[in-house]
Amino acid sequence: MDRETKERIASGELRHIAFIMDGNGRWATRAGKSRNEGHRKGAKTFEEIASYCHEIGVRHVTVYAFSTENWRRPESEVSALMRLFSSYLDTAIRRFTEKKVRVVFLGDKTPFPPAIVKKMKRLESDSSSYSDTLNIAFNYGGREEIVHACREALAAGEEISEEAVARHLYTAASPDPDLIVRTAGEMRLSNFLLWQAAYAEFYYTDVLWPDMTFADVDKACVDFLRRKRNFGGIDPNPGPD
């Protein structure tokens, strides 16, 4: 990554990148492997790319690992994804907490076995004092999150307002994403961060998630930093045309 890009990230222009990690299945099919092998390769890529983002100074990283709709997949694929997730709780995800990254799981934990929930909560509480954050969206759906946040706000006796809903979102520990990257050529949100994406910039690439490299992340960052964000206002210093 070039120095100017790094400096602009360090200055806070890009605080939060979220990835929709898509294309594991297509990667496997192209390589003549099983879909589950695609997920295993994708999980390795997750570990590398998330670490890289923190290294280049992006403070908050979110990855979409399993959606509330992914339960519709064949039972064998769902259970392979659950096993992979469970093994990552003890290894790769724990390593993030050892590197002083706060780990937060976005999504409804209730369908998971108690032993898994215990590990998830343990990782969250062990790392809750760190400020660099890794949000792992697992059994996450944007609509479920908004309903959940409203229920929590009401249960706390709060009136529903934008601030109250935002306070009870799973992502309350992070600012809204500046950049949402989706791999594998799809151009949709698939129920990801519906609330938080209000002013996110989107970046799409045909690269399949398991093939995603640090250079591809650099490209997305450079593209993002070229954009002009208005947040509904107007540019106070417009160019000559």
Listed in order, strand segments (DSSP E) in 83-196 are 102-106, 133-140, 179-182
> Per the structure block, which two tokens stand in for 94?
């724990």
Residue 127 backbone dihedrals phi, psi, to 5 degrees: -110, 10
70 is catalytic: yes
Kindly tell me which of 22 and 176 has the beta carbon lying closer to Mg ion: 22
Annotated active-site residue in 24, 70, 126, 211: 70
Give the contacts of 189 (CB within 8 A, at least 6 positions apart): 20, 142, 180, 197
Least distance from ligand IPE to the Cβ atom of residue 22, Å: 5
Contact between 64 and ligand IPE by CB under 6 A: the answer reads yes
Rg over CA atoms, the chain: 18
Kindly tell me which of 152 and 216 has the beta carbon lying closer to ligand IPE: 216
Q: What angle do CA 12, 100, 209 make, to 5 degrees?
A: 70
Listed in order, strand segments (DSSP E) in 93-232 are 102-106, 133-140, 179-182, 201-204
Least distance from ligand IPE to the Cβ atom of residue 81, Å: 6
Q: According to CB under 6 A, which residues from 68 to 97 bind ligand IPE?
A: 70, 81
Instruction: Kindly indicate which of the ranges 51-59, 100-108, 183-191, 197-205 contains the residues binding ligand IPE, using the contact rule CB under 6 A.
Output: 183-191
Q: What is the DSSP letter of 155?
A: H
Annotated active-site residue in 2, 22, 132, 218: 22
When CB distances are held under 5 to 8 angstroms depending on the partner's kind, the choice from Mg ion, ligand IPE, none that residue 118 binds is none
Q: What is the DSSP letter of 236?
A: S
Contact between 107 and ligand IPE by CB under 6 A: the answer reads no
Least distance from ligand IPE to the Cβ atom of residue 65, Å: 5
* x/- map, 14-43, ligand IPE, by CB under 6 A: ------xxxxxxx-----------------
Contact between 105 and ligand IPE by CB under 6 A: the answer reads no
Q: What angle do CA 196, 198, 202 make, to 5 degrees?
A: 95
The amino acid present at 110, given as its one-letter code, is T
Residue 32 backbone dihedrals phi, psi, to 5 degrees: 70, 30
The site that binds ligand IPE (CB under 6 A) totals a number of residues, namely 17
* Residues forming the active site: 22, 70
Residues near ligand IPE (CB under 6 A):
20-26, 64-67, 70, 81, 184, 186, 188, 190
